[in-house]
Amino acid sequence: MHETLGPIPAHELFVLLGVLAAGAVFALEARRRGQTDERLAYVILGAVVGGAVFMRLGTWMQHVDLRANASLAEQWLYGNRSILGGLVGAWLGVHVAKRAVGYRARTGDLFAPAVALGMAVGRIGCLLTEAPGTPTAGGWGITLDAAAAERTGAPAGVGLHPSFVYEIVFHLVAFGVLWLWLRHRALPPGESFVWYVASYGVFRFLVELVRGNEVAWAGLTRPQLFLMATVPLVLLRIAYQARRGAYRGALQPAPREQVDA
């Protein structure tokens, strides 16, 4: 478990690399689809700013009694980072930016593979700096020495679920599906991102069982409570789209003009 790689903190380094990887994929897909409007730069800026703000502040209100929470300044400087908060912030930032500059084209299909690859890279930083997960009897567990255990608050000398490895694999598989297959299907515009978010929400709820995060209520962690409130809404949207026939023929190859755009 390494907090730094050279002069740069490991977590921040891989977050930066993840953003760069996502930006490269976004640019390639935008070019392939012919979406080269200069206003896309503001949409990307909205995603980055919104994601950064909500990643830092997304875990602020952990207690019903607001006095028990850190101040916003303390949360920004020392609070936990939230990937789920970052995703919500990026989504809000995109919609605010699009409305501000009058950009109406759907951008979900540009963001879906970009976010998947960026998340896979960024989670390497979490793997190197945070507590891996709960104890496991399997032979694939990560065993921490005393120093790493003290730094992360995890037990030393026992195999721990490599929960961040599970996430990295999930996002790499999702990127492969999105980049190599789904982007060439006849899905309605923007729907690949909806499918990606829904699948990640379900996966993340399950991986929380071995993440080792603090239980907040009824045996559930705060991320699980958040996902219980939001993932059903996304799944209902997918079900509504399916019922109205929006996905009819969606997994067939896209028309040549759409593929070559």
pTM for the predicted model, two decimal places: 0.87
E-assigned strand segments in 110-149: 142-143
Residue 233 lies in a domain: yes
Residue 61 falls within a domain, yes or no? Answer: no
Could you tell me if residue 47 is inside a domain?
no
| Rounded percentage of the chain residues whose pLDDT exceeds 90 | 54
**Does 234 reside within a domain?**
yes
pLDDT at residue 85 above 80?
yes
**Does the pLDDT at position 158 exceed 60?**
yes
pLDDT, residue 100, reads 95
Instruction: Give a yes or no: residue 231 inside a domain.
Output: yes
pLDDT at 71 over 70: no
pLDDT in tens, 172-196: 999 999 999 988 888 899 999 999 9
> pLDDT band at residue 56, thresholds of 50, 70 and 90?
confident
Collapse the DSSP code of 110 into the 3-class scheme (helix H, G, I; strand E, B; otherwise coil) and give the result.
helix
Residue 235 scores a pLDDT above 90: yes
- Domain limits for position 110: 4-35+105-259
Domains held by the chain: number: 1
Please give the helix or strand (H or E) that residue 258 lies within, else none. helix 256-259
Q: Is the residue at 53 inside a domain?
A: no
What is the pLDDT, as a whole number, of residue 99? 94
The mean pLDDT of 3-10, rounded to a whole number, is 67
**pLDDT at res. 254:** 76
Statement: residue 102 has pLDDT above 90: yes
Please tell me the predicted confidence (pLDDT) of residue 137. Answer: 83
**74 is a domain residue:** no
Residue 136 domain-assigned (yes or no): yes
